[in-house]
Structure 1
Amino acid sequence: MTITPNHSGLERLLTVAELSDYLGIPVATLYDWRVDGVGPQAVKLGRSLRYPESCVRSWIEGKLRG
């Protein structure tokens, strides 16, 4: 995954649905992982969760390293 800056130059923040689609993992699993502290780091913005692409990438790289 590459970090994709948007028009403002800021890092893209993935929604739960976008991350679910990207990883091929159910949304409910992502919420469970958040509660258990085992998924990628998310940012709470109001009532919504957003996943910075860099955090998702770091989490995946950590999984690859074991």
Structure 2
Amino acid sequence: MAKPTDPDPRATLRGGLPDRYLTPDDIAEIFGVPVETVYQWRKKRTGPPGFRIGKHLRYDPADVRAYVTERKSADRNAA
């Protein structure tokens, strides 16, 4: 859970993602969706690609950035 002094994670996405692997909670905050949605994306293979470290799900910031870029390109091409 974000502390009052933590920056808005969505602003972090615009300004550059953190230099650490992201958690499902981080992804939910960045995209402004419930964490359950993040798990559904993974189940349906529609969201940013994640990977497991033991029982923990993590996301590489470079993969998240590539996912956003891909989605933006797809939306522009569809219009």
TM-score (norm 2): 0.70
Aligned residues: 60
Structure 2 runs not aligned, ≥5 long: 1-12, 75-79
Please state which structure has a larger fraction of its residues in helix: 2
User: Based on CA coordinates, which of the two structures has the bigger radius of gyration?
Assistant: 2
Q: Which structure 1 residue ranges, 4+ long, deviate > 4 Å from structure 2?
A: none
- Secondary structure in structure 1 of the residue aligned to 2:46: coil
Q: Which of 36, 59, 75 lines up with 1:51 in the alignment?
A: 59
Per-residue deviation, 1:43? 1.2
Per-residue deviation, 1:18? 1.1
Please state which structure has a larger fraction of its residues in strand: 1
Q: Which of 42, 46, 50 lines up with 1:38 in the alignment?
A: 46
Q: Distance in 1 between matches of 2:54 and 2:31?
A: 24
RMSD after superposition: 1.1
Aligned-pair identity (%): 30
RCO (CA 8 Å, sep 6+): is it higher in 1 or 2?
1
